[in-house]
Structure 1
Amino acid sequence: MSTDSPHLTLTIDSLAFGGEGIARDNGRVVFVPFTAPGDVVEVRITEAKKTFARGEVVQVVTPGPDRAAAPCPYYGPKRCGGCQYQHLTYEAELKAKAGHVAEALTRIGKLTLAAGTIEPIVPSPQPYGYRNRITVHRSENGKGDKIGFHRAESHDIIDIPHCLIAAPEVNDALGALRRQELAPKRGRAVNFTRPTHFSLRHPDLPPSAFHQVNLFLLGPLRDLVAGWVGTGRRLVEGYCGGGFFTEVLAPHFASITAIEFDSRSLRDARRKTLINVAWIEGSVEECLGAALAASGAEGTDALLLDPPREGLAPGVVTAILAAEQPPRRIVYVSCNPATLARDGGKLSARYTLARVQPLDLFPRTAQVESITLWELKA
């Protein structure tokens, strides 16, 4: 059937990064959100191009084996935009995310992966109730009649009294906020970032610094990174945040230079009083070259990078590749397979990708964390 028709009956083959199902109609790829591999769906085309189209589900004709009932009443098309995978079994979500990491590295990064390079994905012990922080929004009229999350692809607010992926303590803070029992000066559970935006955090988190979100995988993530970074004389860490990794790495290196642009995060990091760590406030792009050069003739044993979703700024990659004594190994932690692959393709000029460890830090959403180990070529 041609995509010129208003409705198509399609079979979903796989999932694209971001969560949309992929089907094909006469050679044209059709992206359909909220579908699962194996689904037979009736689809209305909403956008048609020469090489691809997008559509929305009119009805699920035959559900595939990976489809599951979403437990959240706010989940689905044109509803809350926070989750993308609640309609999948958790096993199918893990398989899709592992595939997205591998595909990005080979397709975007143009990297050849030896057998066994990618480890099996580490699942979250619980796919719900894991987030230690969320940001909620109040309707712009200022009356506070709606407090919740943005509708998908919209600035509209969906009123949400309870978030299934948030930890119980965070939902307690959300409930208190909704009852207007919390104000900006009544404790750190609520941090007003903008007049109608509220950051709700687990009480164990520092009030300002960025922090990894999955309560159940904080320990495994830190242990894996520490194991891959290893030990040595000198470590340079870019995007150190509040010192989440620095704290466990400090006993294993004679000296660490830790770079962070955000002054609030660095203030939290300095409270750790790590005597062998030099905290540098500034952008990694501007500071990394000097930090690597300061290692002298002995060089830098390891470089740890944990950038935001945008990945490494161009100057960061340039500083690494141009270093007279480049780091012997790089551990790059990423929450975006596409920017990881982009940066990895550039790093491959001097480094070999030795290991990849995907972790599902963000169950029920399209995001996936990856730890990668890069070794300096001889």
Structure 2
Amino acid sequence: MKEPRIEFEITGMAHGGSAIGRHEGKAIFVPYAIVGETIAARIVEDKGNFARGELIEVLTPSENRVEPPCPHFGTCGGCHWQHIRYEAQLEFKRRIVSDQLARIGGIKDAVVHPTISSPDEWRYRSHVNFHRTRDGKLGFVMIDDRTIMTINECHIIRPELVSLFEQFKDKHLKPEQKRVRLQVGSQSTETLAATNVGDETGGDETRTILGTDKVHYTIKDHTFEVSAGSFFQVNLPQAETLVNLVLERLALQGSEHVLDLYSGVGLFSAFLAPEARKVTAIESYPPAVADARLNLGKFSNIKVMQGTAEQLLTRFLQGHFDAAVIDPPRAGMKPAALDELIKCKPRKMVYVSCDPATLARDAKKLVGAGYRLVDVQPVDMFPQTYHIESVATFTR
């Protein structure tokens, strides 16, 4: 039997994409609602001290509610906020960063600047990962985070990827082709499709099945060669924004030894090198290390090292760094890596985060070790989703 219909007001937006309100004192998380709305919902999961609800009806709509353009919105798990006016998305992201820092990090007075908007609200992704459905078609993970659904269109990938997707959507993938990445370079003529692109932990072997083995991305005055399995920011204009913010926050004088942790294919190192005495770049994913050594080959003051942050900082780099750039995966830094980083005693650190919850967790430890959180600058790398990129600056 279904739970009864309940009505309540939405009072906030939660990290993870849902809106939040209270009914009879209990916090209820409801996807596809917006702060300020009065809604009717049904409880679908009661966790004791909070519950998850399903939106039945919007009784009093927000002025920030808009009509989603994608027919898959509401079932596909790729987008969460297509129903929210873009300017409101930016403000909600700023509030969420501030809230996570206060609740998880214990930093209640953090300076969190207004979110920097993306030049493109739609058609911004330069690569996208699909999964194989049971019948061998390309699909996305549904909102239940388990089921793979077939899609006919996607509004957040670049037009070149739409064309590439059209070539693949009716093909039948082999059972071993569990994942497919479609990717386009800065030049629209340079595209690739690769199967079994993992999560940069050395999982299944990546095989190119269409196009080139690598693509090239131009950020500012530097072109990066990126293999199919290597990570690169999906929103190229905002990748340049990140580079500018890192350089601005570090304000290097030319005498510093800078640590670039989780350095990928060398995005930050390429711009740190001209402004620093020395750059040490650490990356664990072998294809990305190979890309980085190629991309950074013209710089004599960069040392690229392959290995995990905790391994290399412990075994080989028990020394001093003047500054550090940290760009970890969504899970944030491993505790051992963060401990070793603190021992290196960089005077200034810029932490580039793609998850405000893990940023807040790591910020709490840094502040406890004597660092001060100067400010946080959210950057909208992922319009129409709840995902938030942030640049946090720490000094000691």
Shorter-chain TM range is 0.7 to 0.9
Alignment RMSD: 2.6
Question: Does 2:332 align with 1:331?
Answer: no
- Structure 2 CA distance, aligned partners of 1:18 and 1:104? 11
The match for 2:148 among 151, 157, 168 is: 157
Q: How big is each residue's C-alpha offset from its partner over 1:289-341, in whole Å with a ceiling of 9 and x where there is no partner? A: 456534xxxx4220111000110111122113334xx1111111100111111
Equivalent in the alignment of 1:308: 329
Distance 1:371 1:291, change over 3 A: farther
Equivalent in the alignment of 2:68: 70
Query: Aligned with 1:216: secondary structure?
Result: helix
Query: Aligned with 1:110: secondary structure?
Result: coil
Question: Does 2:216 align with 1:204?
Answer: yes
Whether the 8 Å CA contact 2:3–2:44 is kept in 1: the answer is no
Q: How big is each residue's C-alpha offset from its partner over 1:200-249, in whole Å with a ceiling of 9 and x where there is no partner? A: 99953522320011123121111111221232321111100000111111
Aligned length: 358
Equivalent in the alignment of 1:40: 38
Q: Which runs of 5+ in 2 are unaligned?
A: 181-189, 198-203, 218-225
C-alpha displacement at 1:178, in angstroms?
A: 2.5
Q: Which moved more, 1:155-164 or 1:10-19?
A: 155-164
Q: How big is each residue's C-alpha offset from its partner over 1:245-294, in whole Å with a ceiling of 9 and x where there is no partner? A: 11111101111110000010011101120221111000001112456534
Query: Aligned with 2:59: secondary structure?
Result: strand
Equivalent in the alignment of 1:258: 281
Equivalent in the alignment of 1:318: 339
Distance 1:291 1:97, change over 3 A: farther
TM-score normalised per structure 1: 0.88
TM-score normalised per structure 2: 0.84
Distance 1:58 1:112, change over 3 A: closer
Identity %: 36
Query: Aligned with 1:176: secondary structure?
Result: helix
Equivalent in the alignment of 1:59: 57
Question: Does 2:370 align with 1:350?
Answer: yes
The match for 2:257 among 227, 234, 249 is: 234
Distance 1:198 1:166, change over 3 A: farther
- Structure 1 CA distance, aligned partners of 2:341 and 2:138? 45
Query: Aligned with 2:352: secondary structure?
Result: strand
Whether the 8 Å CA contact 2:91–2:114 is kept in 1: the answer is no
Equivalent in the alignment of 1:271: 294
Question: Does 2:383 align with 1:341?
Answer: no
1:358 partner letter: P
Q: How big is each residue's C-alpha offset from its partner over 1:118-137, in whole Å with a ceiling of 9 and x where there is no partner? A: 22210111211111110012
- Structure 1 CA distance, aligned partners of 2:9 and 2:207? 41
Q: Which moved more, 1:302-311 or 1:201-210?
A: 201-210
C-alpha displacement at 1:188, in angstroms?
A: 5.8
